[in-house]
Structure 1
Amino acid sequence: MEEEHVEIRERLQGALRPYGFHIYPFQVGWYNAVLDPVFHLSYPGDTLAFVVISAPSMFTNSFRPFLKEKKLQSLQDPIDQCVAHHMTLAKEHFPSHQVDIIYDYELHPNRRPKVLMQTAAHVSGAAYYYQRKDVPEDPWEKRKMFGVCIHPIYGGWFAIRAVLVFTEVRAPGLEKLDPIDCVPSREDRIRLLENFNFNWRDGKYRDVLPAEEKYSEDQTLYFSTPPAERMKLLEVWGHLPPSPPC
């Protein structure tokens, strides 16, 4: 049924958007077509999948409430736990479907990512994945340069969290939307990639374009805090009991 993917999208969006998550549908074949076979997802090409991103509002709409209501597992990143909680709840809206959830941090045993999230975001139209190949006559010679996704509304103030695959749903008629090229000039692309590769900690790459919504001060502080120290920050904020003295 051709309309099935539309109904799924609306239901999934209703389950996630209030919590600061946005979804973008794509066919698995679009993703596989731009990658070497070693990175392919092993589903039929017209299988329906969704990229899930978190907007700045996720921190207030889902992370803070999650911290207040749930008991954190100390061995897993708090944001990852929050995202997994909401993806699992969203999956429960589809009891008659097999939904595979692949998170941004998941790796194969050989340490290869299970999904190249930025590529998935690009082929879904969610965000433009700017890479070295997008800069004609680049100035970096033999230096390795990593690419980065930029969202037309949030700039760099967002994160790609997961891919949801509806393994039994085929969507051959799904319209393919190209990502918006919101950093069109060569000079701005050079500045973006240099800020991301050389000074990513200061976050300047996120402001390559005026964003409609950015991270709050608390959110910026949280994500700029080294992961090993974030639990201590949550203690200071009152979300965790104080650590016992040594």
Structure 2
Amino acid sequence: MATSSAASVTGLLDSCLSKLGFEVYPLKVGWYNALLPPCLHLPYGDDTLAEVVLSTPTMFEEAFLPFLEQKNYEKLSDPIDQCVRLHITSVTTQCFPEQKVDVRYDYELLPNRKPKFLAQTAAHVSGAAFYYQQSDVTNQPWADKKMFGVCVHPKFGGWFAIRALLVFVDIMVGSELVQPSPPNCVPSREGRIQLLEAFNFHWQDWSFRDVVPPLRTYSEKQKEYFSARPDQRFALLMSWGFLPSEDEPPELSSATHSQMNKLS
């Protein structure tokens, strides 16, 4: 097994990705697996190092628009997904050439149609963001209604997205990596009810993202892009001059996502 430290791996990833508008947070596979049933476990030992990658509000201008300007996109894929994949592949290849890294993206599904990883659970156990769920509300006002949970970032509220999980298959970390508690940004019952109702019933108006005062939000151009339906975004990029108008709109790789999940 490799003997690299979590701090060195995180530091190297951060030095490459932070300037592009990404954040990285380390976790142990065991922390993640402990919250999930066996059918959703990552198939690695408890002390295996993983890193969750988030995109912050600056990713759109610092990574995505330059990605389009450089014509790095290909057909048959969602441009945001391609941009994230390009940068993560570049970093893992250049910085960890001798490491086996299992990279799992937020939009990928296993053959059984289950996600390759549960992004919000990974963010929560890494301490990156607090995953507020229906079970976090006492005396729930929703009776038997199913309410989807949502992560809140301590600096950006809901103005961020969880993009990938990198599992460093041969790197084991011990007591050096202590599980942090995610920042509880919405401690009150009333605030959690407001958050979950805004996310589940009014997600189109973006209000759930402002549950805590954000340090930074998406730019107006970024809001316009993510407000558009996925099948309309190629036309929008054409109108901005990033895609040639004669190109046929590609088939979306993220077509399996709901509209709610792609508002990121």
Question: Shorter-normalised TM-score: what interval?
Answer: over 0.9
What one-letter code is carried by the residue in structure 2 that aligns with 1:24?
Answer: Y
Give the alignment of 1:68-87 within 5 angstroms.
68-87=69-88
Match of 2:133 in 1: 131
Give the alignment of 1:1-246 within 5 angstroms.
4-92=5-93, 93-173=95-175, 174-243=177-246
Unmatched tracts of structure 2, length 5 or more: 249-264
Q: What is the RMSD computed on CA atoms of the aligned residues? A: 1.3
CA distance in structure 2 between the partners assigned to 1:53 and 1:4 by the alignment: 21
> How many Å apart are 1:4 and its aligned residue?
2.1
What one-letter code is carried by the residue in structure 2 that aligns with 1:185?
Answer: S
TM-score when normalising by structure 2: 0.90
Please state whether the residue corresponding to 2:57 is helix, strand or coil.
Answer: coil
What one-letter code is carried by the residue in structure 2 that aligns with 1:154?
Answer: F
TM-score when normalising by structure 1: 0.97
> How many Å apart are 1:88 and its aligned residue?
0.4
What one-letter code is carried by the residue in structure 1 that aligns with 2:148?
Answer: F
Please state whether the residue corresponding to 2:162 is helix, strand or coil.
Answer: strand
* Percent of paired sites with the same residue: 53
Task: Give deviations 1:136-169, integer Å, cap 9, x for gaps.
Answer: 0010011110000000000000000000010000
> How many Å apart are 1:230 and its aligned residue?
0.3
> How many Å apart are 1:109 and its aligned residue?
1.4
> How many Å apart are 1:98 and its aligned residue?
0.7
Q: Is the Cα–Cα contact under 8 Å of residues 129 and 183 in structure 2 kept in the other structure?
A: yes
Match of 2:252 in 1: none
Please state whether the residue corresponding to 1:144 is helix, strand or coil.
Answer: coil
CA distance in structure 2 between the partners assigned to 1:89 and 1:27 by the alignment: 23
4+ runs of 1 displaced by more than 3 Å? none
Q: Say which is worse superposed, 141-150 or 1-10, in terms of deviation.
A: 1-10
Task: Give deviations 1:86-114, integer Å, cap 9, x for gaps.
Answer: 10011021111111110001111121111
Please state whether the residue corresponding to 1:206 is helix, strand or coil.
Answer: helix
Distance 1:172 1:240, change over 3 A: same
CA distance in structure 2 between the partners assigned to 1:111 and 1:74 by the alignment: 23
Aligned length in residues: 245
What one-letter code is carried by the residue in structure 2 that aligns with 1:156?
Answer: G
Distance 1:175 1:244, change over 3 A: closer
